[in-house]
Structure 1
Amino acid sequence: MKQHLVITIEREYGSGGRLLGKALSEELGIPYYDDEIIRAASEHAAVGEKYFRLHDEKPGKRLFGQARDVVGKPRLAGNITHPDNLFRFEAETIREMADKGSCIFIGRSADFVLDATEFGDFVSLFVYCDMVNKMRRVMEVDGVDANEAMARIQKINRQRREYCRYFTGNNWGDPMLYDLPLNTTHLTIPETAELVKTYLRLRGLLKA
């Protein structure tokens, strides 16, 4: 494996993106960061974790045309719990984690954060699948019925789409934004992990 390998995973709710991240973490032997980003950012900012969770992967609110710098240095005074400022703290945390060594990031627009700050090579993935499989997975994992599964999928994916647009200006899920879009409709998580590893080998990032 490349000495310093960073993978970012954006994912539709119910597509198995989080499970893929865990599988790759185990197979590649590198850290996996999901909720850990929130906890680390809270400690870094000395701001209650509840504020980060309240705005986790949700868009903020701003006036039309309002200028902002979401990857600059966070404010340490004033309205430090504004969503833009919380994003800056998370961005700093993501960069620090990436600088320390190989790792995998789940969501939080980590691909945008690393690209915007000219981080070295990283591999960006987007995981998606058809609605039937998303619903099946959400029903199994969350223990809800079909109607509730559908409602959660629609709500959370809408929030993630708006979060991406608000903080990055990009269209979440646009295949041009990612190194490897992955459709898990007809693949198991282990099979998808193998596909990712094959891609990494072809890129020279993982030994054959």
Structure 2
Amino acid sequence: MSIITVSRGTFSGGNNLAECLAKKLGYKALSREILVEAAERYGISESDLSNAIMAKPAIEERLSLKIDRIRYLSFIQATLCDHVKDDNVVYYGHAGHLLLKNVCRVIKVKVIAPMELRVTFAMERMKLSQEEAISYIRRMDKYRQKWTKFLYGVDWNDPSLYDLVLSLKEISIQTACNMISIMTEAPEFQLTEESKRAIADLAIESRIKAKLASDSKTRNYFLKIEAKDGNVKISGRVRNINDENTIREIVRDIPGIKTIDCSCIQYYPNS
């Protein structure tokens, strides 16, 4: 049993491939569902969550926008971790290969397709002219590259981020689906106890980030969260050293936490 992430450009066939995999393997296929659940769980609108992730960063609001995006990403990551902990999932939503980048044995796939095929898909589904379809695809690809660099500091097109890059120029969705299905049987992609613990720790880290990000007393702090076998270390800078106690109080009831080591440094913004 495996976890699969499918990354794709706009109208590159990734949605169809994910659905094909889910049907063939009997896995859950997740994309927008994670956004909807995260929005409901953390009390924000789905449109606000989606817009914060996808909006083009403006220079004058880069810092505030990045804080909002990191906050919202913690909501998405926490929700995604709850679904993948039992494996048997195909995720083709926002940056799954990066949200789960520290979890080994996840099959990270990228799908690419020739522009003419993508344009045909866009014209059919969005009722666009050829010129409008080309413009739309190029604009969305540019946005995707920019926010991946902005949020994660990586090039979305870097093949080293993936285990498999598939071009639909010469192969069908079904053939691509069959190829990935074979990979799920390989020992390299079977979840081990170690990888399950890594997922559990990532789930704890993401829940802590989400809870701190949703609390007005801690939402603007950049804190480093590390979990190892349920033992949590929190570090970073706080305005008041007493905020360490506030942080512990906010996160102490999160399931899976065994111990909390909160070692923060006070900073003086007006000095």
TM-score range, shorter chain: 0.7 to 0.9
Q: Which residue of 1 aligns with 2:157?
A: 173
**Shift in alpha-carbon separation, 1:203–1:134, aligned structure 2, 3 A:** farther
Contact 2:110 2:162 in 1 (8 A): yes
Alpha-carbon distance, 1:128 to partner: 0.5
Query: Of the candidates 115, 118, 125, which is equivalent to residue 134 of structure 1?
Result: 118
Query: Of the candidates 54, 64, 67, which is equivalent to residue 51 of structure 2?
Result: 54
Q: Does 1:15 align with 2:12?
A: yes
Give the Cα–Cα distance (whole angstroms) in 2 for the partners of residues 199 and 18 of structure 1: 19
Contact 1:60 1:84 in 2 (8 A): no
- Amino acid paired to 1:37: I
Query: Of the candidates 16, 22, 25, which is equivalent to residue 28 of structure 1?
Result: 25
Alpha-carbon distance, 1:123 to partner: 0.6
**Shift in alpha-carbon separation, 1:122–1:205, aligned structure 2, 3 A:** closer
**Shift in alpha-carbon separation, 1:169–1:37, aligned structure 2, 3 A:** same
Alpha-carbon distance, 1:84 to partner: 2.2
Q: Which residue of 2 aligns with 1:196?
A: 180
Unaligned runs of 5+ in 1: 71-78
Give the Cα–Cα distance (whole angstroms) in 2 for the partners of residues 182 and 161 of structure 1: 19
- Aligned-pair identity in percent equals 20
SS of 1:90's partner is helix
SS of 2:184's partner is helix
Q: 1:149-164 counterparts in 2 under 5 A? A: 149-164=133-148
Contact 2:16 2:173 in 1 (8 A): yes
TM-score of the aligned structures, taking structure 1 as reference length: 0.81
Alpha-carbon distance, 1:164 to partner: 1.0
- Amino acid paired to 1:16: G
| Between structures 1 and 2, the one with greater strand share | 2
TM-score of the aligned structures, taking structure 2 as reference length: 0.63
Q: Which residue of 2 aligns with 1:143?
A: 127
Q: 1:106-121 counterparts in 2 under 5 A? A: 106-115=92-101, 118-121=102-105
Give the Cα–Cα distance (whole angstroms) in 2 for the partners of residues 190 and 61 of structure 1: 41
Give the Cα–Cα distance (whole angstroms) in 2 for the partners of residues 112 and 123 of structure 1: 12
SS of 1:55's partner is helix
Q: 1:55-134 counterparts in 2 under 5 A? A: 55-60=52-57, 82-115=68-101, 118-134=102-118
Contact 2:12 2:111 in 1 (8 A): yes
Q: Which residue of 1 aligns with 2:253?
A: none
Give the Cα–Cα distance (whole angstroms) in 1 for the partners of residues 95 and 186 of structure 2: 25
Contact 1:59 1:167 in 2 (8 A): no
Question: CA RMSD of the aligned region, Å?
Answer: 2.6
Alpha-carbon distance, 1:60 to partner: 4.2
Deviations 1:12-68 (A, max 9, x none): 1121011101110111111111110110110121111120122344454577996x9
Question: Which structure's CA Rg is the greater one?
Answer: 2
